[in-house]
Amino acid sequence: DAGVIQSPRHEVTEMGQEVTLRCKPISGHDYLFWYRQTMMRGLELLIYFNNNVPIDDSGMPEDRFSAKMPNASFSTLKIQPSEPRDSAVYFCASSFRQEVYGYTFGSGTRLTVV
Amino acid sequence: AQSVTQLDSQVPVFEEAPVELRCNYSSSVSVYLFWYVQYPNQGLQLLLKYLSGSTLVKGINGFEAEFNKSQTSFHLRKPSVHISDTAEYFCAVTPRGTGKLIFGQGTTLQVKP
């Protein structure tokens, strides 16, 4: 199993540009989560899906952020337009019965908006 | 609403000494409890979890944690740390039935030679 795969690993973009982060969860997992990690705010849950349906997006900071999960093997997090304060590491995680097996995290995407 | 408080942002300790990383939580419903570790420039890895039953749980790398319901705590311990244990440690809770994982702010464990 290749684990949770995120791409790209690093992204540098200019303010105002659109940014798309990608995630491939582990096959068979029915939950998918997007987190943002910064020094100031720690790990924040942005949104999570169950069986491809968004369950809770209360952590999405504003309308510039959107997330989709068109099928069980792919999810995107889009920021449009990007701003310097969006600079952070974005993690994707997936789980199956997470209370038993826990989440599996990807290696993250380090986003820098200049 | 649920919240997780890690009482120490940084814990410096000498190699082979014991360590305790403290975690308290607040929740109006029952929760599952977890500890995760993050090594530099990596994702998070599950150390251990408490679901039910024995309040003392053992995890990987020699770590253990004890659930104390009355004090709503889930402190992480290791009797003898190694340099390789230097990392960020996160306590987290899941309200039962939600599948949602809520993290504390993290504790940086710095093991010195």
Look-up of token digits 């684990």: A3
Contact between A40 and A26 under an 8 Å Cβ cutoff? The reply is: no
Mean pLDDT score across all residues of chain A: 93
Determine the length of chain A. Answer: 114
The predicted pLDDT at position B11 comes to 97
The predicted pLDDT at position B100 comes to 82
Å between A54 CA and nearest CA of chain B: 12
Q: Is the CB of B96 less than 8 angstroms away from the CB of A99?
A: yes
Q: Is the CB of A4 less than 8 angstroms away from the CB of B43?
A: yes
Query: What mean pLDDT comes out for the span A1-9?
Result: 90
Look-up of token digits 């679901």: B51
pLDDT digits (tens, 9 = 90+) for A19-35: 999 999 999 999 999 99
Question: In sequence order, which residues have a C-beta less than 8 Å from that of residue B69 and are 6 or more positions away?
Answer: B55
- Closest by Cα among A5, A40, A25 to A94: A25
The predicted pLDDT at position A99 comes to 63
User: Does the CB of A31 have a partner CB in chain B at under 8 Å?
Assistant: yes
Burial class (CB in 10 A: 0-12, 13-18, 19+), A44: middle
Distance (Å, whole) CA A76 – CA A92: 10
DSSP A5: E
The predicted pLDDT at position A100 comes to 66
**pLDDT tens track, chain B, 113 positions:** 789 999 999 999 999 999 999 999 999 888 999 999 999 888 899 999 998 888 999 999 999 999 999 999 999 999 999 999 999 999 999 888 877 889 999 999 999 99
Picking from A43, A91, A98, the nearest residue to B94 by CB comes out as A98
pLDDT digits (tens, 9 = 90+) for A82-101: 999 999 999 999 998 766 67
Q: Is the CB of B101 less than 8 angstroms away from the CB of A56?
A: no
Burial class (CB in 10 A: 0-12, 13-18, 19+), B110: middle
Contact between B113 and B23 under an 8 Å Cβ cutoff? The reply is: no
The predicted pLDDT at position B52 comes to 86
B4, β-bridge pairs? B25
- For A100, the enclosing helix (H) or strand (E) is helix A98-101
CA angle in degrees (0–180, nearest 5) for A30-B44-B57 = 85
The predicted pLDDT at position A34 comes to 97
CA distances from A111 to A7, A14, A27, A79, B35 (A): 11, 11, 26, 11, 26
**Residue B40: closest CA among chain A residues belongs to which residue?**
A107
Would you say residue A102 has pLDDT above 80? no
Would you say residue A1 has pLDDT above 70? no
The predicted pLDDT at position A73 comes to 95
Q: Is the CB of A103 less than 8 angstroms away from the CB of B49?
A: no
